[in-house]
Amino acid sequence: MSKCQLWLRLTCVAAALLGLGTTATGATLTIALSSTVNTLDPEKTTTVGTDLSVISHIYTPLVERGPDLKLRPALATSWQAISDNVWRFVLRDGVAFPDGEPLDAAAVAWNVKRILDPRTGARNKPWYSAIREIRVVDAHTIDFVTDRPFPALPAQMAMLFLLPPRWSRSHNLAMNAMGTGPYELKSFSPGDQIVLSARPDYWGDAPRFDRVVFKIIPEESSQIASLLTGEVNFISGFPTSEIGRINHSGRAHADAVPSTRAMFIRLNALKEPFRGNPKLWKALNYAVDKKAINDALLDGKGQLEDCQILSDAYFGFNPDLKPVPYDPAKARQLLNEAGYPDGLTIDMEVPTGRYMQSSDIAQAVAAQFEEVNVKVRMHEMDFGVWINKYLIGRNLGVASYTGVAWPTLEGGSMFDLWQSKNPQAFWDDVAYDRAVRLATSTLDDGKRAAAYRTISRAMCDASPIVFLFFTPTTYALTPDVRWSPRGDDWVRAMDMEPR
């Protein structure tokens, strides 16, 4: 056997052990997910890290965000506001669904009407509720008429994954999928795995992998073990403390990037003791040493919140704000002024199984509260139980450790979550509501950005939440995969390639 033949054989064996072929042709990429995919219907979910990540391989939106988190064309080649209340999108020519049905303006209109139809029960309906009329201009041009100037519409369209109208009427969309994306569904075993294969007739750049497998592996330790044995090629969302161990193994590379998910203690300002007591809100902000918690529990890889809910990835981020300093003496002074010279006891809900190290972080915050004589009764509950209580039951405890990110990266969409009209706001501030309404109704980017910066400063001054940090997005991958890291929860084979 020649040296060349021996080298080739060893290379193929090594690639097979790692689950990838030697080139993109025939390569299989295996991605671990921590929770099951609940549905393949893009309108029945808003979960980016699992459901929508898988869905994005099969269906395509009008626009999308690249790894740099900037909008770029997808099925729409261009878009513009042709008046204050009308957005026009021009569609890519020559794209059809796999069954031959054209992806034209009529198909796009059908998809949006399906979302807005109350009978659909679309989870993402609020994202498009400003649309009051849809006009099919021609086969490749569609106008959306909104009930007010709506600058966030193009960003919202990055979440509009387009279904084939004719095929959709006769299939169970929760279990079946057929779209214009780079991959097609081969099998879906809920709770186990999803297998996709590359579409040879995909309209865009050829898929870099022949097969993509999403394996459901709930336990972090099992995910890491599967990565180190080569059973999977990519994992994410594990504790930062595991980065060193993975790298030391020499079998995978691990790191972290800042995420867009703001973590904080949400205070129910509609209930005692927080109702109408902003000095108490502020006191708790001064009581927390965010840097110490970040260093101890997140290895310093979190990004401290600059007294605002927007990271620098969001449109409208205010660069002039700084984190609330750790000042327990100031916290005690404000507690006294708030009417609690001897301290108080509060209950705090902590959802588990969703946010990175939620129990550890919440306990650290509680310990620092107690240093200024604010005792905490912790109530841990499964995230699914908590989210139903919070979103569906609209029942938030006095305080809760929680987080939020908005896929459009539009500051106004985040601010909207604290408007009093929002049933999950648990804060009522008329001036804030008015400022958000005005800011989100101008198409002038400069004016809108300035207004968002003002809103962030006002929210910082009020502090209806305890600002903490943006948790990092941790990831690890085998040496034969290259990935463009992104901090917005999307896990897509389209952002990866074989080495």
What confidence tens digit (pLDDT) does each residue in 205-257 have?
999 999 999 999 989 999 999 999 999 999 999 999 999 999 999 999 999 99
Q: How far apart are CA 57 and CA 55, in angstroms?
A: 5
* Amino acid (one-letter) located at 499: R
* Spatial separation of the C-alpha atoms in residues 299 and 89, rounded to whole Å: 44
The DSSP call for residue 157 is G
What average pLDDT score do residues 78-86 get? Answer: 97
Summarised one tens digit per residue, pLDDT across range 288-298 is 999 999 999 99
Residue 207 is classified by DSSP as P
Are 386 and 351 spatial neighbours (Cβ–Cβ below 8 Å)? yes
Residue 26's pLDDT is what?
60
How far is residue 234's CA from residue 226's CA, in Å, rounded to a whole number? 9
Instruction: Check residues 226 and 67 and name the one with the higher pLDDT.
Output: 226
Bigger pLDDT: 17 vs 103: 103
Nearest to 415 by CA among 279, 317, 349: 317
- Measured CA to CA, the distance from residue 333 to residue 321 in angstroms comes to 23
pLDDT at 395 over 80: no
Whole-prediction pTM: 0.86
CA atoms within 13 A on the CB side of 151: 22
Q: Which pLDDT score is estimated for 212?
A: 98
Q: In the predicted model, is pLDDT for residue 362 greater than 60?
A: yes
Strands 465-477 and 303-304, sheet pairing:
antiparallel
Q: Omega before 273 cis (within 30°)?
A: yes
Structure-block tokens of residue 358: 């939620």
Q: What is the mean pLDDT of the chain?
A: 92
Give 207's contacts (C-beta < 8 A, 6+ positions apart): 24, 182, 183, 198, 199, 493, 494
Give the lowest-confidence range in 291-300, 378-387, 443-452. 378-387
150-193 residue pLDDT tens: 999 999 999 999 999 999 999 999 999 999 999 999 999 999 99
Residue with tokens 């970040």: 294
Residue 389's Cβ-count burial label (10 Å; 0-12, 13-18, 19+) is: middle
Cβ(453)–Cβ(318) below 8 Å: yes
Closest alpha carbon to 465 in 281, 338, 342, 339: 281
By percentage, how much of the chain surpasses pLDDT 70?
Answer: 94
User: Contact at 8 Å (CB) between 111 and 142?
Assistant: no
Q: Are 101 and 167 in contact (CB under 8 A)?
A: yes
CB contact set of 100 (below 8 Å; sequence gap of 6+): none
Kindly give the residue spans of alpha helices, DSSP state H, lying in 259-301: 278-286, 290-297
pLDDT band at 393 (very low <50, low <70, confident <90, very high): low
Judge contact between 273 and 397, C-beta under 8 A.
Answer: no
Total residue count of the chain as it appears in this document:
499
- With a cut of 70, say whether residue 3 has pLDDT above it: no
Q: Which of 322-331, 406-415, 450-459 has the lowest mean pLDDT?
A: 406-415
pLDDT higher than 50, residue 138: yes
Q: CA torsion 241→468→415→399, rounded to 10°?
A: 110
Beta strands in 227-373 (DSSP E): 234-236, 253-267, 303-304, 344-352
Q: Which two tokens stand for residue 119?
A: 């009978």
- Per-residue pLDDT tens over the stretch 280-316: 999 999 999 999 999 999 999 999 999 999 999 999 9
List domains and CATH numbers for the chain: 17-40+181-233+478-498 (3.40.190.10), 60-165 (3.90.76.10), 259-472 (3.10.105.10)
Res 149: pLDDT? 94
Is 453 strand, coil or helix? helix
